[in-house]
Structure 1
Amino acid sequence: MDAAQRRQEILEFLKQNNQPVSASKIASRFGVSRQIIVGDIALLRASNAAISATPRGYILDDNDDITNRCTHTIACKHSRDNLAEELYTIVDNGCGLIDVIVEHAVYGQISGRLHIFSRYDADNFMKKLAKDQASPLCDLTGGVHLHTISYPSEEAYRRVLSQLKEKEILFIK
């Protein structure tokens, strides 16, 4: 199989998966190295394929399990010590974190795809931060950041806002 054919098959493989798929898993599926897959994904994205990179792997945007849910952007502020509490509050109420967005003084808006819908996802995200000794994006802005959250009902959304406000995580000036 040549590289162009492999890239088309990677797109088909991602279409069949509703959850993020790691580069290592894709590499194993196609019998190539992880780095080849990273390059293939970069080329696919450069040709306008709607592939997002999440902490757990790649996903096609149109496969995202948020498509039948409402979304809203909220502003939050907290220290690194409250990161897990923020994530748990959102997912424990049936909502999901789609992304994180910060406004950087030099680069402008920076966003990262999260795709966190459960405590399992939140724990994996926290473990990855620790393992890679990485800083969350909100460290760049003194803790202030935005999240696009998905929610199944207005009731769930209101519950999240109320609890984040009570925990002094919801950013209200």
Structure 2
Amino acid sequence: MEQTILSGDERREKLLALLLRSDEPLSGGKIGDIYHVSRQVVVQDIALLRSKGHSIVSTPRGYMYEKDAGNQNCRRIVKVCHTDDQAEEELSTIVDFGGIVLDVMVNHRTYGKVTAPLNIKSRRDIRKFVEDLKQSKSSLLSNTTSGYHFHTIEAESEDILDEIEEALKEKHFLVDFLDYETTFKQ
């Protein structure tokens, strides 16, 4: 059976339709298999779709189209610092107050701003994240910056974000932004 070779635009159009129909995350590998391209091409396609305003989120299990992208949730970037052993407690503090940890970002002096999606919404997501780290040879991104890192947090209201910040402060995880880091705040 002969494969139909799609142009990049055609492939992205079909990919977008696939994501819109799917109720479950689709891994980059699975998407690549469907369209006979590498995972790296899928990553590039997702980036191009996002640049056109499509709300596609990355989860630990794959990509999803954020169907309720029109919601009016509030977002805030916080700067935190902790040890590897405290990562689960930090994430639990955020989700227990109703927050979603959208990403993690470090500001490395050599590599610059490095961001990775997390989309952690529950303690179940936290357990999976921690387990995935234990099973891999990887470590927390924040290890590249002595534990200092940023999270974009989403919640239903500014009050909830304030409560999250206060709880992180009480646990001594919250750190003040340096003067040159104010551009990271939203």
TM-score by length of 2: 0.76
Task: Name the CA shift for 1:97/1:66 in 2 (closer, same or farther; >3 Å).
Answer: farther
Distance, in Å, in 1 between the alignment partners of 2:29 and 2:99 is: 28
Partner of 2:184: none
Partner of 1:126: 130
Runs (4+) off by over 6 Å = none
1:80 aligns with 2:81: no
Percentage of pairs with the same residue: 33
Could you tell me which amino acid in structure 2 is paired with residue 92 of structure 1? D
Picking from 10, 15, 22, the partner of 2:15 is 10
Could you tell me which amino acid in structure 2 is paired with residue 11 of structure 1? L
Could you tell me which amino acid in structure 2 is paired with residue 49 of structure 1? L
Partner of 2:168: 164
Who wins on radius of gyration, i.e. which is larger? 2
Report the number of matched residues.
Answer: 167
Q: Which moved more, 1:17-26 or 1:138-147?
A: 17-26
Partner of 2:45: 44
Superposition deviation, residue 123 in structure 1: 1.4
Distance, in Å, in 1 between the alignment partners of 2:71 and 2:170 is: 29
2:12·2:49 contact (CA, 8 Å) conserved in 1? no
Picking from 42, 57, 63, the partner of 2:62 is 57
Q: What SS does structure 1 have at the residue aligned with 2:49?
A: coil
Partner of 1:21: 26
Partner of 2:112: 108
Task: Name the CA shift for 1:64/1:83 in 2 (closer, same or farther; >3 Å).
Answer: farther
Runs (5+) with no aligned partner, structure 1: none
Q: What SS does structure 1 have at the residue aligned with 2:77?
A: strand
Q: What SS does structure 2 have at the residue aligned with 1:106?
A: coil
1:98 aligns with 2:102: yes
Could you tell me which amino acid in structure 1 is paired with residue 125 of structure 2? D
1:71·1:151 contact (CA, 8 Å) conserved in 2? yes
Runs (5+) with no aligned partner, structure 2: 51-55, 178-186
Task: Name the CA shift for 1:96/1:77 in 2 (closer, same or farther; >3 Å).
Answer: same
TM-score by length of 1: 0.81
Distance, in Å, in 1 between the alignment partners of 2:125 and 2:29 is: 18
Could you tell me which amino acid in structure 2 is paired with residue 22 of structure 1? S
Residues 123-162 of structure 1 mapped to structure 2, 5 A cutoff = 123-162=127-166
